[in-house]
Amino acid sequence: MESEHKKTGQTNDSMVQNQASHKEMRLLGEWAVKLCLDYGRSNIIIRQLHYFALRRKKLRKPDGSEYRNCQDDLFFLQIACRLARQMNLLPYGIFASDIGKGLAGRSSVTKPGSYHEDLNNAIDVFLVAYTRSMVRSILPVHVEVWLENSTAVNLLLPVAAKFNVDLLTYTADIPLNTIWLLIREFCKLDRPIVIFHFSDLVKYKDGFLVTAFDKLKAVICQYSLAEKIDIHFEHMMLTESQFCQFNLPLIPEGETCSGLLHSKVCELHALEAMCPGYIGSILDARLGEYINPDEIRKAKRIINFTYKLAYGRLSRCVGKGTSAHSVITALRCEMHDQYFGGKVIPGDSKS
User: What's the confidence (pLDDT) of residue 218?
Assistant: 92
* Judgement on whether residues 50 and 192 belong to the same structural domain of the protein: no
8 Å CB contact between 160 and 105 = no
Identify whether 281 is part of a domain. yes
Residue 99 per-residue DSSP state: T
Average per-residue pLDDT for the chain: 79
- Any domain includes 96: no
267 plus 339 within the same structural domain: no
Residues 122-169 have pLDDT tens digits of: 777 777 777 777 787 778 899 999 998 778 888 899 999 889 888 998
pLDDT confidence band for 46 (50 / 70 / 90): very high
pLDDT in tens, 60-119: 999 999 999 999 999 999 999 999 998 999 888 888 764 444 334 555 666 555 544 566
Residue 195: is its pLDDT beyond 70? Answer: yes
Answer whether residue 2 is part of any domain: no
Q: How confident is the model at residue 206, as a pLDDT? A: 55
Euclidean distance between CA atoms 304 and 47, whole angstroms: 39
304: Cβ contacts below 8 Å, ≥ 6 apart: 131, 349
Burial 330-340 (b: 16+ CB within 10 A, else e): ebeebbebbbe
CATH number of the domain within which 190 lies: 3.40.50
Cα 179 → chain centroid: 22
Q: Global pTM?
A: 0.79
Lowest mean pLDDT among 113-122, 155-164, 178-187, 211-220: 113-122
**Rg of the chain over CA atoms, in angstroms?**
27
Q: Are residues 253 and 310 in the same domain?
A: no
Is residue 6 situated within a structural domain?
A: no
Position 196 in a domain: yes
8 Å CB contact between 95 and 145? no
Residue 351: per-residue pLDDT: 36
- 336 and 350 together in one domain: yes
Verify that 274 and 162 share a domain, yes or no: yes
Q: Is residue 337 part of a domain?
A: yes
Range of the domain at 321: 113-138+292-351
Residue 119 is assigned to a structural domain of this protein: yes
pLDDT at position 2 over 70: no
313 and 276: one domain?
no
Q: Are residues 130 and 147 in the same domain?
A: no
Looking at the domain assignment, is residue 50 inside a domain? yes
Domain boundary residue, one of 260, 291, 322 = 291
Residues 203 and 247 placed together within one structural domain of the fold: yes
**Based on the domain organization, do 301 and 276 belong to the same domain?**
no
* 246 & 134 share domain: no
How many domains is the chain partitioned into structurally? 3
Same domain, 262 and 158: yes
160 plus 260 within the same structural domain? yes
- CA-CA distance, 256 to 274, in Å (whole number)? 22
Q: Is the dihedral of CA 43, 47, 48, 53 positive or negative?
A: positive
